Amino acid sequence: MAVCMFSKHDFLKEKVDPKLNKQPTVVDILLKDMMHDQACLLRKLQIAEENRLKMEKAFKQSENKNKILSGLVRSMSGAVSA
């Protein structure tokens, strides 16, 4: 699936005849709006991915702490009963 991406530069490099009073068309406005929405969504996706990685790291750390604490509890309960 091919995705066609337009940048702000694509709009700026378009040659405009100074004699024409070129107003942006509805398509231009919608495309610009969609590009802005896409940029916002990509940023939100990036933040969500960063948060997911942080949560994954915190989860692994808590699993390691649980293992250590479980081992300590077992060793202490074994020492008390002996």
Residue 57 lies in a domain: no
Full residue range of the structural domain in which residue 39 is found: 26-50
pLDDT tens, residue by residue, 9-47: 655 656 655 555 678 889 999 999 999 999 999 999 999
What is the Cα–Cα distance from 35 to 19, expressed in whole angstroms? Answer: 29
Residue 34 lies in a domain: yes
The tally of domains found in the chain comes to 1
Q: Tell me, what's the pLDDT at 18?
A: 56
Residue given tokens 């091919």 in the structure block: 2
pLDDT tens, residue by residue, 43-74: 999 999 999 999 999 999 999 999 999 999 99
pTM comes to: 0.55
The count of residues in the chain is 82
* 72 membership: H or E segment, kind and range: helix 26-81
